[in-house]
Chain A
């Protein structure tokens, strides 16, 4: 093994930190250099990830990275693990960072903190993905949220203050509760309250995944994040929530029937609530967020439906495809928003908007449809719920919620002024709609195929 390969995991974990250092050192006025540096590091990070994945699949990379410091009396070890549970989450974060740099013009950001925040948040995620113990990961994720609050606080949204306050207090309290409970040995817990205990442990994950029943701030968060930074912030929360759920699931010895019913009810009620709200509001700009929450709820339900790893890969595929489609749709929405304010190419814009949201409605083989039907097939194939009445009710409710969301989508598209900022006057100075923008739906359609193919290929290689 070459010297580079033996240290590749170190390089991969620490490159966001080095990138933020470089971006900070570049003078504030030189925005082009900052952007170029960000693009360089994010692309390099993605390339390094593929090398890490290749080495991991061929079992040529050490499974853990130990950072140690200490003396005679005190020895501190900080260990990062790479496993089947986190390797694709690392990849998702690297891809997200790259997409964020290429799809977002850095020169309209406000401060240096805004420019380095994605890299710092990615670094925090990398460190947390590499943990096996929630007691180590959760405090890091918790304090990293201060960056998120800072970014929300800098927007011009009217209710940003109350959003930060509610979200901050709720998340810090949930995290503290989970961490305090983790200090109490499981054998001291009365079996009668074990469901409550487990639900308290799961709450930080549910809240970050924006499940409406356990994250009262969801609506405010979705409405008060900046259009350009919002998708990254929301995906950061989603990835944090997912890793928290994985870490807790790995500590559980069993998922009882009552816990399964509780989790299923919470997720499905949340999804139904989201669908009804979308139908009543009919706001096209926020629809990608609603779809995201819907599929996140479904992922959670699948992930925690059984203690074994039968549905693990399916839920991972569903989760990552969801994130890819969401990032594409929300970013496209903000770009379309900008174009529509300048031009009158409403037919093209409507077309683009329609296609981007079509990725979510579950058309087989297109966007979420590639993962959704695989998930549905797997649930039947593995017979997780023993196909009883409860299972049929749950399935019917999931489908009903998806139909309602799709109805909300069609009704929103029918509205004349689906972007309030659309100008009726023809402006001759507007920039032309780029060909890359028109072809981007094709790109994301391919990505939605690539994600399951890559993950299933890796599982065949013994992941």
Chain B
């Protein structure tokens, strides 16, 4: 059933992509989606149909509620589609160029990212993930403002090359050890016992860390999130985190299945992720530019998400619900953060500093409120969904007080960051006498922020 649904959705998406590509090539500057309703219908229909079909197939499988970890790739595909739709929704408000070419790039990136997370073959993963990065680079450059284009392009291409080189090294190591490049066919004990095989898997873990945005292994996340358009930033970060987590999850799965004692390696992975997470928050604290700070905060969602997926757990929640909650956390927090930012147009420029935010909350309370809720949730302040996501790590990692201390530290730094925004937005007087922006954020953004708060009241982690 899963394979049939995958093939059907693939055919529909490929058809819509092909049509969109042909239209985009033939008429480069036309706003084909707004001018040609049949194309809009085909594209949206293909995506929604794929989404529904995937959801149905997943629920119909019967095993999903019992062994949800076996279906991580399918859940990832579903959330990749949701995130792409969300990016299109944000883009309608923020993207200045809304030509067919842009939408083609967005949909092509979706197709590539789905193939990346679904395919067990390392060769296909290499081709699709590097192609995905090239597409994202194009999107980021096309949507960026002013002098940021060159910087973003340089960093993104560097990231692409690094990814390709690491993939090649991983392939080389596995080939040297006479191991298959298909992760599903890997003889687990042999692969981990062989130094070259272990090295190859280590390279894949490194790629997972890079896609998850964990410093020092991330190369372009901050600059892309800082310089490019809000919708593109959302798309790049959310889908990159999911791809990174999928890679790390596969490695962790191999560790567990091999039945070898890999606790040190697992702890090392957790340590790198948590360290990266704290570094991102510390860096966020010392930023003077608003968008730069937001970029660091948004990037910190990646390591937290990967940590929770790999090591988190809840006694009170079924594994399936927990898994869905973690994916929803990424989508909801980034949607609230970037969605509210899309409606904060007066400060939505890369050069704006904290002083420019003075009194903004008094003039635009709704935008600022949703923005603060997103920050608080990512920081993990008690009473938000993010807090439970962080708390879900403590029980599984209870042997090590260092992890508990690190989680506490990240919340404390996050509190400082959130309160700084709060003070500037609500406590200071407005620096300019501009009229209040009357546009309230979209209901979906308000609803997302409400969910982040309401779920924080239900203690599903103990």
Contact = CB atoms under 8 A, between A and B. Distances in A.
Contact of B408 (A139, A150, A176): A176
A136 interface: yes
B317 A176 contact: no
Nearest to A73: B318
A293 B320 CA distance: 49
Q: How large is the interface on A (under 10, 10 to 19, 20 to 34, 35 or more residues)?
A: 35 or more
A181 B391 CA distance: 10
A449 interface: no
Given A143-B384, A183-B404, A169 B457 contact: no
B415 A172 contact: yes
Contacts of A180: 391, 394, 404, 407-408, 411
Interface in B399-447: 401, 404, 407-408, 411-412, 415-416, 418-420, 422-423, 426-428
Interface in B361-397: 362, 372, 376, 380-384, 387, 391, 394-395
Nearest to A136: B459
A177 interface: yes
A140 B404 contact: no
Q: Is the interface of B mostly helix, strand, loop or mixed?
A: helix
A161 B428 CA distance: 7
A333 B458 CA distance: 41
Interface residues of B, number: 41
Nearest to A74: B321
B453 interface: yes
A153 B427 contact: yes
Nearest to B419: A168
A364 B236 CA distance: 70
Given A149-B422, A161-B427, A176 B381 contact: yes
Nearest to A179: B382
A33 to B, nearest CB: 23
Interface in A117-159: 133, 135-136, 138-140, 142-144, 146, 149-150, 152-154
A162 B416 CA distance: 12
Contact of A172 (B372, B398, B412, B459): B412
Interface string A159-179: 011101100110011011101
Nearest to B391: A183
Given A140-B457, A165-B420, A175-B382, A73 B320 contact: yes
Interface in A166-219: 168-169, 172-173, 175-177, 179-181, 183-185, 188
B391 A179 contact: yes
A164 B394 contact: no
Contacts of A144: 383
A169 B318 CA distance: 34
B412 A139 contact: no
A347 interface: no
A435 interface: no
A73 B321 CA distance: 8
A185 B401 CA distance: 12
B422 A143 contact: no
B382 A142 contact: yes
B395 A164 contact: no
B462 interface: yes
A161 B357 CA distance: 14
B153 interface: no
Nearest to A142: B382
B415 A184 contact: no
A153 B422 contact: yes
Nearest to B411: A176
A165 B424 CA distance: 10
Contacts of A1: none
Contacts of B426: 149-150, 153-154, 164
B398 to A, nearest CB: 6
Given A140-B383, A176-B412, A164 B456 contact: no
List the 4 closest pairs (A to B, CB-CB), nearest first.
A143-B383, A172-B415, A153-B427, A142-B382
Interface of B: 65, 317-318, 320-321, 362, 372, 376, 380-384, 387, 391, 394-395, 398, 401, 404, 407-408, 411-412, 415-416, 418-420, 422-423, 426-428, 453, 456-460, 462
17 contacts: A73-B321, A74-B318, A74-B321, A135-B459, A139-B383, A152-B427, A164-B422, A168-B422, A172-B415, A172-B418, A176-B382, A180-B391, A180-B408, A183-B391, A183-B395, A183-B462, A184-B404
